[in-house]
Structure 1
């Protein structure tokens, strides 16, 4: 009877074990297609773009695409193709950023587009800076505007706008200086020609003595020199003042709160890290703290965000005035200490 009972119990538990195994297999397949595969597809183009940005620029000059007529899947495919062709921000109407932004316009929570924009933002900022250095100001402004749509609070945008403004003012100053130099050279040539004509006319009409001629020449040279000095003084007075330099100071941490080590992680001897992105306001307080990346996921997230939200900073300054900036910090959790 005992053996019979054991056989029935074993027979009843076998279907349950098989059912549990089947459920685990289904969950694994779903995780692959819904989470792992999309993230790999978004990450791979970004890595290709990073490598390509260090080499020779692409020669692609594709025509603008009718974005409104494309489906979401087609937009994502065009964005990946643009990344592979190194069309991150240009040309207008046919670049990866515009495709991903259009996806988010239709589906604000599309994680593939969000991750791709976040990962490629630094490379886009480098492209915009190159346009500034080449003094292609119209293109640089368009690219900065495009970057601001992807991450309007990013501190890098403030730096790019400051560089663009400084380069424009420097170009204006150089053009004005060159114009003044040409005008001055023309005035000098006219003055020298007039002095020569006056000297020739005086010599031909009066035939003065050598001493008188020399004295007249000296007077003419002195008058020309005086006139030249006046013109130089007038030109210096009209010259535009040099543009005021832009001074930017980073936010400084003044009060730090250490994160609490989760009890479950202590019991299981788990360690890891969490990347937290947040905004430091003009009052030095931390706002909008959120997790960007973590390993392992969802173990230390809450503890890291709670701690960072209590930090205090001396606010960042632009020409002495406080301004809000976006920052990113990694919180590391190791048994015995956190940092």
Structure 2
């Protein structure tokens, strides 16, 4: 349990928990067009990179903003060959948070942020099982967005044509009203015909509604068995909850993909709220089930209990 609690803080245990000097702080991510690449970590000093990674973890800047988050600092440490074992362990723990953020960006149609997070996931683990599925979803979202833009353009052109036609008809009507009219002939006096006695309307046959058919009873569909869980990765106990001796549980809904991977983990409820949510979502994202060839949606509860003694 102690090793699990200290996994993300493995680097921070070697140095004091303090933020780097103001002149060394990473610049905040500036607003850039969707086509511009995100800011990259350019620091090369391992000590400063470790301090910035620790500060990002303490501030819960796990995957954002771009250029100033824990994942990118740990990637910079790994790419520069600093403390390989501790950095690899930290990136393994942070990978589910990248996956969750990417799925959330896709669900909110923030395609530029989704692309940044997928690139970050590929840098963290190029063989991540969820990468092909997420890339396919991103490509589909781009295609849907392009189709929507084309539809809006066509709709705008159609409305412009309708307005032009309406204006042409109105102009023709004004021209016809302004033209001189010929003298109208004198109308003959109307002939008044004798009123015929009223007749009763023929009786109409009242349609008879057919009797309602009895509903056909349908047998309930058999419950679909859940695939067998192959990799039950335990959740990381949040350090703040461990220090305060807090216990609780989180109920998570998720979908098991045909290949056995987990997608779209969603928080259903938690006790106490907001304490174990992120750790539970990250743990569920790491689960792997037996490949069943079809998607299955389910709900599970993760319980957080302190060790006895």
Could you say which TM-score interval applies, normalised by the shorter chain? 0.3 to 0.5
TM-score normalized with structure 1 length:
0.42
Q: TM-score with structure 2 length normalisation?
A: 0.46
Q: Which has the higher contact order (CA 8 A, sep 6+)?
A: 2
| Greater fraction helix | 1
